[in-house]
Amino acid sequence: MRGANTTGTARRTSRAVILLGALATLAACAERETILPGERLALRAVLDGPGAASEAPAPRATPAPLALPDARANAGWTHGTGSAFYRPEHPALSHPLAPAWSADIGQGDSRRARIATDPVLAEGRVFTIDAASTLRATSAEGAPLWSLDLVPARDRPGEAIGGGLAYGDGTLFATTAFGRLLAVDPATGAVRWDQKLDATGTGDPLYRDGLVYLVAGDTTAWAIEAEDGRVRWRNEGVGDVRNLAGGSAPAAAGGRVAFAFGTGEIQTVFAEGGLPRWSAFVAGRRPGTAIGLVDDITGGPVIADGRLYAANAAGRLAAFDLESGERLWTAEEGAFDTIWPAGGSLFLVNDRNELLRLDARDGRRIWAVELPRYTETRPRRRAAIHAQHGPVLAGGRLIVAGGDGRLRIFDPEDGARVATRDLPGGATATPAVANETLYVVTRDGRLHAFR
């Protein structure tokens, strides 16, 4: 028995020696890992698809000089910033700003409804739509003038929210979430005509040369006679459920109109007959965010200097040649609000709540300023964000109205913050400027004026 144990022990020892020898041989054969030279690309980069941000150059090291047009007083604010003939290049506004007055404009935001319409100013009046779909006119000094209930008789307030406003040729045009386009007398609030749409009309309309253009349901482009409400033409787009309420307003220039659809498509057509000229998509997304699944155009279209700019909610901004539709560049920046072109630059708040100045030639970042984003600071509670409305260029300053109750004012050349003002209630719409006065609508259903 002792001899057997001795033999077994010898065999185990022999096997251990052989195993150690094999490991030593493998270790001797292993070579040091070679790090390959060359550019490193993110694994998710291939998911970005066409229009990736790598097409845009890197940010500039120092801010470029900015030459703005002279500030001029403007009497009205009849449309958004999409079309050059309605967009004031640089409205006059004296600084520092101070509150002038505040007026009640109806129902404010709630869990079921919210104010989603930018104010319009014309004929010495400020026009707004509240969370209960009531259109109101307020004087330039804050006095109530008239109101109009936009809810159809068979519907109830709160069943649909949103709408849009535009003014042209002595008429106020209002779209509603109930699928109507109304022509309203701006002096009295009387309805001149009412056109039924096939879907919700929550985006701003555009008036130009006797026609009213709009997008209904994020899928259909309409051209309607401003005089009597008759349909001149309409173009059907491709439906997409991944879009946001409150579609972008059309933009026009040189006998053409550009429409933005919920699929991320930009379509330009001839204004008179609606014949398509060219179409393109703002493609690509910023990975890692839920909003990256939304294709809708939420910034623009904006036309300036022979180019069209448009941004989606997912993190892409593209520039196109207005005549041919050729894509000129794409930047990895989304936008939910205004894109303001001035002095060879584009100013916007991106999908990460950064105020940006981009070079309009190539989409390069010139500077970026972080704005408050999440309503909660603790990482596990970060869900809702502070909406940042604007920017608006006025009086040599960039103005951003925040949902966090702050009005922030910046130097457009280098992005330095120069002032902050309290904004009770927090902004819920893009500010407007007329007659050297800044107007802001807040979530509590009030209109604030600053001078």
Please report, for the chain, the start and end positions of each structural domain, with discontinuous segments joined by +: 76-450
CA distance linking residue 181 with residue 161, whole number of Å = 14
Q: Minimal CA–CA distance to 215: which of 313, 123, 82, 309?
A: 82
Q: Do the Cβ atoms of 185 and 167 come closer than 8 Å?
A: no
- Mean pLDDT of all residues in 296-305: 91
Q: Phi and psi at residue 93, in whole multiples of 5°? A: -160, 120
Confidence of residue 243 (pLDDT cuts 50, 70, 90): low
User: Phi first, then psi: what are they for 307, rounded to 5°?
Assistant: -125, 155
Worst-scoring range by mean pLDDT, 111-115, 156-160, 180-184?
156-160
For position 51, what pLDDT does the model report?
39
CA distances from 22 to 10, 26, 28, 29, 365 (A): 19, 6, 10, 11, 58
Q: Is the pLDDT of residue 54 over 60?
A: no
Give the residue-averaged pLDDT of 205-230.
Answer: 93
* Per-residue b or e along 175-200, where b marks 16 or more CB atoms closer than 10 Å to that residue's CB: bbbbbbbbbbebeebeeebebebeeb
- Is residue 349 within 8 A of residue 310, CB to CB? The reply is no
Q: Could you give phi then psi for residue 29, rounded to 5 degrees?
A: -80, -25
Q: What's the whole-model pTM score?
A: 0.84
pLDDT of residue 18: 52
CA atoms within 13 A on the CB side of 238: 10
Mean pLDDT of 176-192: 96
pLDDT digits (tens, 9 = 90+) for 115-171: 999 999 999 999 999 999 999 999 999 999 999 999 998 888 778 888 999 999 999
CATH of domain 76-450: 2.130.10.10
The residue assigned the tokens 């007083």 is 73
Percent over 70 (pLDDT), the chain: 80
What's the average model confidence in pLDDT over 322-341? 95
The DSSP 8-state label assigned to residue 213 in this structure reads E
pLDDT above 70 (res 289): no
**Among 35-39, 51-55, 84-88, 311-315, whose mean pLDDT is lowest?**
51-55
Confidence (pLDDT) at 64: 79
Q: Above 90 in pLDDT, residue 432? A: yes
C-alpha–C-alpha distance, residues 422 and 93, integer Å: 18
* Residues 370/385, Cβ–Cβ less than 8 Å: no
Helix H or strand E segment including 20: helix 2-29
Residue 413 has pLDDT above 50, yes or no: yes
Edge-first strand listing for the sheet containing 432-434: 99-104, 446-450, 437-442, 432-434
Q: Please, what is the average pLDDT of the chain? A: 86
**Is a pLDDT exceeding 80 seen at residue 376?**
no
Instruction: Say how many C-beta atoms besides its own lie within 10 A of residue 221's C-beta.
Output: 23
Q: Are 117 and 247 a contacting pair, CB within 8 Å?
A: no
Beta strands at 180-184 and 99-104: parallel, antiparallel or unpaired: unpaired
pLDDT of the residue at 149: 96
- At 263 the pLDDT is 85
What pLDDT was estimated at residue 112?
85
Asked if residues 286 and 315 have their Cβ atoms less than 8 Å apart, the reply is yes
Q: What is the mean pLDDT of residues 60-78?
A: 88
- Tokens coding 3: 């001899």
Residue 44 clears pLDDT 90, i.e. is over it: no
